[in-house]
């Protein structure tokens, strides 16, 4: 039966055997292809490397041969030059012949030197030379002489074609002499034999001498005579990839012996000839050929070994596949049977189903399950056997007596003691058996599963199958209790979920639950309200689809960390588009992520507003302090410049220079006033009449410094502009805000245009601004060429704290403050913008209804006096400057550095008519306090206070009554006018109003 089972199980695999063989052949073919391709590529790369090495070797040989040939020809040329110089010196023939013999003896053996007549016949030669000249073709020499160009005495010698002679071929070198004769040197081409031997070329190698047209002049080994004069490059040739700067490398098929050689051509330096060295291609690549044969043989051996190995592996794989197919068939039967367990609810039917699975999977006639009393787990617990043996069919059932004995054997508690399968051979009249204990989820004994009757005994694979059947039996036994428990748990979970949902709906914080796919499974009412969505629009939707702007924000990273690491996270997230802030607590849930969150936008806005106010207060304090010191400096400069201007009345040039200094100081004073207005130190003054042209002209230097140098500012002023009634500082602040916004919209530069014109607005043009009234307005248009605003941004541009700038780069208060300024003064603010087309802001302010200011009075000289003035100022330079101004006005001046020094002067008997003091003084006594203390001792004392700070008049009046306060710097006319007014009026008593003024540092 075992053999039959194996045959049945292997039958599906037998159908796949041709496919397996084809697959094996395909693998072998691919392996052979890869191996052959790899060897081929390796051999090709090796051949290329070998060829490059051969080319390098013959290049070295050719370079060496060219150098030696150049040296040899250079020796001949030197000898000819020597003969030419001797002949030009006019030596006698016998001395010239002796010199010729001496030169010839220094040259290689066989070289002939001679002087020739113009007809080619020898004139002077040695005896050996004359013997070698016999039989030469003198006509060829005469033609060479005739072909020589004129004036070749100073140039290089001329090399002719080789001439045949009884002594072999001779290479002629000729140099013309001044008298028409020629100096001749004949070089035996047999000299190439020595060169050839020194090159130590392999068999098949050759060397050659060529003229400038690549025609053969000589060759070693010698070729046929008719080869002389052949163009050896007029044949098949292949250039090497890398070529030398001069010459040529490659392969050439010889016209003489038809051999394919690696050849290197090199010009001979200084002469119109070249040399060539060649190596036999087959000889040069002989070692590579041996490596190729060796590689091919090894490849064949490797392919044979791979084929044999693949055959062996295929056989082993087939054997294992047979075993795997048998196990798979059994598991498939088990899986099909397991699928039916869920459809069976009664325990006996379930156990019967498992019995059928056991008999089919293990091919046995008998199976039974023993159950132990569930209430008792001791040794006395009873065992009950449920026989699962068939009554007929295949395999044949066991005899009743054998079945009875098997049941008695199965109920033994020892059968249920083992949690692993145990196999028992056939013995004592019982067939081969296998059993395994059954356990519940707590490990308590439920009983045992027993199978028996296999004629060939059980295999090791049957143990694994028996273990799987035992797990199914355990599931079947526990199934009824588990189902009941599941129903109870579901009811409890539903009740608990309802209670939790009621609690979550009652809380004010938002709560959402997300599944593993980031889809909403629940959202309470607070969450839906904050998300501004309905429940049906949220449940089942992905959070990233509903809120794509969260991707890339901190919330995305925190939620991903909660899902992947199981960590709780507390974080904050701001939504710039809605200007909302949220606090969130996210934590892992059973099926995903859950999160509580709340809207903290109002708290963040209040916090931001407080921080912005603190920041502006700090900036204001710093600006006021800097302005105080700067005003002191400007007062020194302005006062001295004014006095210098008076002193230089007779010097127009010097007087103009002094005026320039004073004008610069006045412009500095105006700049400080602008800075104080921007920092919030503008005095609480009543509105005043403002001329738009003067306001804009005075602001241009400040605006140019406020915007980038890459931004061009244009100012366009219309005619008949209406006068305005407002506080100039607030107007300057509004214009500066608009200019800064325009600058930020043009980070790469652009054009900023300020245009002022008079317009008349009717009722319909004032919609949205109930404070405005129809009439004549000044329209100030600030336009830029920046990136503009989208319609949704344009709608919210004037909202407080709304900003499209990066976090920390803008508070969102610029346009909001301009809108507030326009409403306070009965004006209108309009914005016009499109993305990519810039922005235009139109600020329209109503014309002043007050009558025009009177024309300034004619210039009068400053009033003078002779009273005693006590000047108290801690800045030495300013004290000296103001004292000089007072002296020029006729006053008697006494100076003090601080309050203690001034009081000491009173103790010494000083009785001043007027106290001129700074408000802030060192030494613990302020200017107002000093004034009160001095007036207590001198009731008729007048007091004039000055300060470099921009202090409001109302604040000064709240601290000290009946006192005049002037801002630094002061010109002489203003100072003289106020001094005279105080001194001509009766003295007014001074009184401190409150201790709060002390705390503010004024007294």
Residues 691 and 776 in one domain: yes
Residues 184 and 240 in one domain: no
For the ranges 69-73, 85-89, 178-182, 684-688, the lowest mean pLDDT is seen at: 684-688
CA nearest to 609, candidates 874, 398, 811 = 811
Query: Who wins on pLDDT, 920 or 870?
Result: 870
Average pLDDT on 411-426 reads 79
**Mutual orientation of helices 17-88 and 2-15 as an angle, nearest 10°?**
50
> Residue 240 and residue 832: Cα distance in Å, rounded?
73
Query: Which residue, 782, 815, 849, sits at the end of a domain?
Result: 849
Q: Classify residue 664: in a domain, yes or no.
A: no
Q: In whole angstroms, what separates CA 393 from the centre of its chain?
A: 77
CA nearest to 273, candidates 75, 72, 69 = 69
Residues 209 and 357 in one domain: no
Residues 438 and 467 in one domain: yes
For the ranges 243-247, 376-380, 411-415, 904-908, the lowest mean pLDDT is seen at: 376-380
Residues 543 and 691 in one domain: no
3-class SS string, 887-900: HHCCCEEEEECCHH
pLDDT of residue 3: 43
**Number of CB atoms found within 10 A of residue 848's CB:** 18
DSSP, residue by residue, 790-850: -HHHHHTTTSTT---SPTTS--S-HHHHHHHHHHHTT-EEEEEE-TTS-EEEEEEEEPP-S
> Residue 963 and residue 991: Cα distance in Å, rounded?
9
pLDDT of residue 129: 78
Query: Who wins on pLDDT, 219 or 979?
Result: 979
Are 58 and 262 contacting, i.e. CB atoms less than 8 angstroms apart?
yes
Average pLDDT on 430-440 reads 84
Q: Classify residue 103: in a domain, yes or no.
A: yes
* 398 φψ region: left (φ > 0), alpha (ψ -120 to 50), beta (else): beta
> Residue 815 and residue 890: Cα distance in Å, rounded?
53
Average pLDDT on 662-676 reads 67
Query: Who wins on pLDDT, 884 or 477?
Result: 884
For the ranges 6-20, 552-566, 849-863, 933-947, the lowest mean pLDDT is seen at: 6-20
Backbone angles phi, psi at 771, to 5 degrees: -75, -20
Query: Who wins on pLDDT, 101 or 807?
Result: 101
pLDDT of residue 956: 46
Pairing of strands 964-967, 237-239: unpaired
Query: Who wins on pLDDT, 758 or 681?
Result: 758
Reported confidence tier of residue 409, pLDDT bands at 50, 70, 90: confident
Collapsing DSSP to helix, strand or coil, 650 comes out as: coil
Q: Residues 955-997: pLDDT tens digits?
A: 343 355 667 788 777 777 888 888 898 888 888 787 655 434 4
From the number of C-beta atoms within 10 Å of its C-beta (0-12, 13-18, 19+), residue 572 rates as: middle
Residues 370 and 471 in one domain: yes
For the ranges 205-209, 840-844, 860-864, the lowest mean pLDDT is seen at: 860-864
Residues 380 and 428 in one domain: yes
As given in the structure block, the two tokens for residue 596 are 């509580």
Cα dihedral sign for 674, 680, 684, 686? Answer: positive
Give, in degrees to the nearest 5, the angle at Cα 166 between 161 and 168.
50
**Number of CB atoms found within 10 A of residue 120's CB:** 19
pLDDT of residue 757: 93
Q: Classify residue 668: in a domain, yes or no.
A: no
pLDDT of residue 1003: 40
Residues 691 and 833 in one domain: yes
CATH code (residue 180): 3.30.450
Q: Which residues contact 889 (CB under 8 A, 6 or more apart)?
A: 862, 863, 864, 865, 972, 975, 976, 979
| Domain residue limits at 474 | 347-484
Average pLDDT on 293-322 reads 79
Residues 449 and 383 in one domain: yes
Average pLDDT on 506-520 reads 90
Reported confidence tier of residue 316, pLDDT bands at 50, 70, 90: confident
Cα dihedral sign for 568, 571, 575, 581? Answer: positive
| Count of structural domains, the chain | 6
| Percentage of the chain exceeding pLDDT 70 | 81
Are 803 and 812 contacting, i.e. CB atoms less than 8 angstroms apart?
yes
| pLDDT above 60: residue 269 | yes
| pLDDT above 70: residue 239 | yes
| pLDDT above 60: residue 384 | no
Q: Residues 451-469: pLDDT tens digits?
A: 888 777 777 777 778 888 8
The neighbouring-strand residues paired with 595 are 512, 586
- Omega before residue 781 within 30° of 0, cis: no
CATH code (residue 982): 3.40.50.2300
Average pLDDT on 619-645 reads 71
Residues 867-901: b if buried by 16+ CB within 10 A, e if exposed: bebbbbbbbeebbbbbbbbbebbebebebbbbbee
> Residue 950 and residue 946: Cα distance in Å, rounded?
10
pTM of the complete model: 0.35
As given in the structure block, the two tokens for residue 913 are 């008519």
pLDDT of residue 156: 74
Residues 845 and 876 in one domain: no
Helix (H) or strand (E) holding 325: helix 286-339
Reported confidence tier of residue 357, pLDDT bands at 50, 70, 90: confident
Average pLDDT on 853-873 reads 75
> Residue 230 and residue 217: Cα distance in Å, rounded?
9
- Omega before residue 969 within 30° of 0, cis: yes
Q: Classify residue 912: in a domain, yes or no.
A: yes
Reported confidence tier of residue 480, pLDDT bands at 50, 70, 90: low
Q: Classify residue 477: in a domain, yes or no.
A: yes
As given in the structure block, the two tokens for residue 190 are 């047999």
CATH code (residue 463): 3.30.450.40
Average pLDDT on 295-322 reads 79
| pLDDT above 60: residue 15 | no
pLDDT of residue 994: 45
pLDDT of residue 271: 82
Collapsing DSSP to helix, strand or coil, 487 comes out as: helix
Residues 171 and 200 in one domain: no
* 550 φψ region: left (φ > 0), alpha (ψ -120 to 50), beta (else): alpha
- Beta strand residue intervals within 140-179, DSSP E: 158-159, 170-176
pLDDT of residue 52: 84
Q: Classify residue 77: in a domain, yes or no.
A: yes
Q: Residues 864-908: pLDDT tens digits?
A: 889 999 999 988 888 888 898 899 889 999 999 999 999 999 999
Q: Classify residue 118: in a domain, yes or no.
A: yes
Highest mean pLDDT pick, 85-99, 186-200, 312-326: 85-99
Residues counted in the chain: 1003
Give the mean pLDDT of the chain: 78
Query: Which residue, 231, 249, 282, sits at the end of a domain?
Result: 282
pLDDT of residue 393: 47
DSSP, residue by residue, 611-643: HHHHHHHHHHHHHHHHHHHHHHHHHHHHHHHHH
Reported confidence tier of residue 376, pLDDT bands at 50, 70, 90: very low
CATH code (residue 590): 3.30.450.20
Are 452 and 435 contacting, i.e. CB atoms less than 8 angstroms apart?
no
Average pLDDT on 785-791 reads 86
DSSP, residue by residue, 888-953: HTT-EEEEESSHHHHHHHHHTT---SEEEEESS-STT--HHHHHHHHHHH-TT-EEEEEESS---H
| pLDDT above 70: residue 483 | no
| pLDDT above 80: residue 791 | yes
Q: Classify residue 626: in a domain, yes or no.
A: no
Query: Which residue, 582, 604, 626, sits at the end of a domain?
Result: 604
pLDDT of residue 869: 92
CATH code (residue 780): 3.30.565.10
| pLDDT above 70: residue 222 | yes
**Mutual orientation of helices 814-824 and 728-744 as an angle, nearest 10°?**
150
Torsion angle in degrees (nearest 10) through CA of 512, 518, 521, 522: 10
pLDDT of residue 971: 78
**Number of CB atoms found within 10 A of residue 779's CB:** 20
pLDDT of residue 680: 54
Average pLDDT on 532-545 reads 90
pLDDT of residue 514: 92
pLDDT of residue 8: 38
Reported confidence tier of residue 616, pLDDT bands at 50, 70, 90: low
Residues 465 and 517 in one domain: no
pLDDT of residue 970: 75
| pLDDT above 70: residue 2 | no
| pLDDT above 90: residue 18 | no
């Amino acid at each position: 039966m075992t053999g039959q089972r194996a045959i049945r199980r292997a039958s599906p695999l037998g159908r796949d055997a041709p496919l397996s063989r084809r697959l094996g052949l395909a693998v072998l073919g691919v392996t052979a292809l890869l191996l052959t391709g790899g060897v081929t590529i390796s051999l090709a790369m090796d051949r290329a490397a070998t060829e490059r090495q051969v080319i390098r070797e013959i290049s070295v040989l050719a370079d060496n041969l060219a150098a030696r040939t150049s040296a040899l020809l250079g020796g001949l040329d030197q000898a000819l030059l020597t003969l030419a110089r001797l002949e030009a010196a006019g030596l006698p023939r016998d001395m010239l012949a002796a010199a010729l013999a001496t030169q010839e003896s220094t040259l290689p053996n066989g070289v002939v030197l001679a002087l020739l007549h113009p007809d080619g016949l020898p004139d002077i030669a040695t005896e050996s030379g004359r013997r070698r000249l016999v039989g030469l073709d003198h006509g060829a020499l005469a033609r060479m002489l005739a072909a020589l160009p004129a004036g070749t005495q100073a140039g290089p010698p001329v090399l002719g074609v080789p001439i045949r002679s009884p002594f072999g071929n001779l290479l002629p070198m000729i140099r013309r002499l001044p008298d028409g004769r020629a100096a001749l040197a004949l070089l035996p081409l047999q000299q190439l034999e020595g060169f050839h031997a020194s090159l130590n070329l392999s068999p098949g190698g050759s060397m050659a001498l060529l003229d400038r047209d690549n025609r053969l002049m000589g060759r070693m080994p010698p070729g046929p005579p008719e080869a002389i004069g052949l163009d050896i490059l007029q044949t098949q040739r292949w250039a090497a990839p890398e070529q030398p700067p001069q010459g040529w490398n490659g392969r050439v098929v010889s016209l003489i012996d038809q051999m394919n050689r690696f050849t290197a051509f090199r010009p001979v330096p200084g002469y119109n000839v070249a040399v060539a060295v060649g190596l036999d291609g087959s000889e040069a690549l002989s070692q590579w050929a041996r490596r190729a044969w060796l590689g091919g043989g090894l490849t064949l051996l490797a392919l044979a070994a791979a084929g044999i190995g693949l055959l062996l592996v295929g056989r082993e794989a087939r054997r294992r596949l047979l075993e795997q197919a048998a196990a798979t068939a059994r598991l498939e039967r088990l899986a099909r049977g397991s699928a039916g367990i869920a459809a069976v609810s009664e325990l006996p039917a379930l156990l019967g189903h498992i019995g059928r699975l056991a008999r089919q999977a293990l091919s046995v006639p008998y199976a039974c399950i023993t159950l132990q009393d569930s209430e008792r787990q001791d040794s006395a617990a009873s065992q009950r056997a449920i026989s699962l043996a068939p009554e007929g069919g295949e395999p044949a059932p066991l005899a009743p007596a054998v079945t009875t004995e098997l049941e008695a054997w199965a109920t033994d508690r020892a059968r249920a003691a083992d949690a692993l399968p145990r196999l028992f051979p056939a013995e004592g009249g019982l067939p081969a058996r296998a059993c395994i204990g059954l356990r519940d989820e707590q490990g308590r004994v439920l009983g045992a599963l027993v199978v028996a009757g296999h004629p060939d005994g059980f295999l090791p694979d049957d143990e694994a199958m028996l273990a799987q059947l035992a797990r199914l039996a355990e599931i079947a036994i526990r199934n009824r209790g588990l189902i009941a428990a599941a129903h109870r748990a579901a009811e409890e979970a539903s009740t608990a979920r309802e209670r939790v949902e009621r609690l979550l709906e009652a809380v004010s914080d938002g709560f959402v639950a997300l599944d593993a796919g980031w889809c909403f499974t629940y959202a309470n009412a607070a969450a839906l309200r904050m998300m501004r969505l309905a429940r049906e629009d949220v449940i089942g939707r992905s959070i990233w689809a509903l809120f794509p702007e969260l991707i890339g924000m901190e919330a995305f990273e925190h939620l991903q960390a909660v899902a992947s690491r199981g960590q709780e996270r507390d974080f904050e997230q701001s939504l710039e588009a809605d200007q909302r802030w949220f606090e969130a607590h996210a934590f892992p849930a059973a099926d995903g992520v859950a999160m509580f969150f709340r809207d903290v936008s109002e708290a963040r806005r209040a916090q931001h507003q407080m921080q912005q106010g603190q920041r502006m207060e700090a900036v204001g304090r710093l600006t006021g302090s800097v302005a105080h010191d700067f005003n002191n400096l400007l007062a020194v400069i302005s006062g001295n410049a004014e006095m210098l201007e008076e002193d230089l009345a007779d010097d127009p040039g010097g007087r103009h220079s002094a005026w320039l200094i004073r004008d610069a100081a006045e412009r500095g004073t105006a700049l400080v006033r602008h800075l104080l207005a921007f920092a919030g130190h503008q005095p609480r003054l009543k509105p005043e009449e403002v001329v738009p042209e003067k306001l804009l002209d005075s602001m241009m230097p400040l605006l140019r410094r406020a915007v980038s140098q890459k931004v061009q500012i244009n100012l366009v002023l219309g005619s008949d502009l209406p006068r305005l009634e407002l506080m100039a500082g607030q107007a300057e602040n509004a214009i500066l805000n608009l200019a800064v916004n325009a600058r930020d919209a043009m980070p790469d530069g652009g054009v900023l245009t300020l245009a002022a014109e008079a317009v008349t607005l009717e009722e319909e043009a004032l919609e949205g601004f109930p404070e405005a009234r129809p009439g004549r307005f000044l329209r100030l248009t600030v336009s830029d060429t920046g990136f503009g605003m989208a319609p949704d941004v344009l709608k919210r541009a004037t909202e407080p704290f709304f900003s499209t700038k990066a976090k920390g780069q803008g508070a969102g208060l610029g346009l909001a403050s301009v809108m507030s300024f326009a409403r306070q003064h009965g004006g209108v603010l309009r914005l016009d913008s499109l993305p990519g087309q810039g922005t235009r802001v139109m600020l329209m302010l109503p014309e002043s209804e007050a009558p025009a200011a009177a024309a300034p009075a004619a210039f009068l000289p400053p009033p003078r006096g002779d009273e005693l003035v006590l000047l108290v100022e801690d800045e030495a330079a300013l004290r000296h400057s103001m004292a000089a101004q007072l002296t020029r006005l006729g006053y008697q001046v006494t100076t003090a550095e601080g309050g203690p020094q001034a009081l000491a002067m009173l103790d010494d008997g000083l009785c001043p008519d007027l106290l001129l003091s700074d408000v802030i003084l060192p030494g613990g006594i302020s200017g107002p306090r000093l004034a009160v203390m001095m007036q207590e001792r001198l009731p008729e004392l007048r007091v004039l206070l000055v300060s470099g700070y921009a202090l409001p008049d109302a604040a000064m009046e709240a601290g000290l009554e009946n006192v005049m306060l002037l801002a630094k710097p002061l010109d002489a006319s203003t100072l003289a006018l106020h001094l005279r007014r105080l001194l001509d009026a009766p003295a007014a008593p001074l009184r401190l109003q409150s201790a709060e003024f002390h705390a503010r540092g004024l007294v």
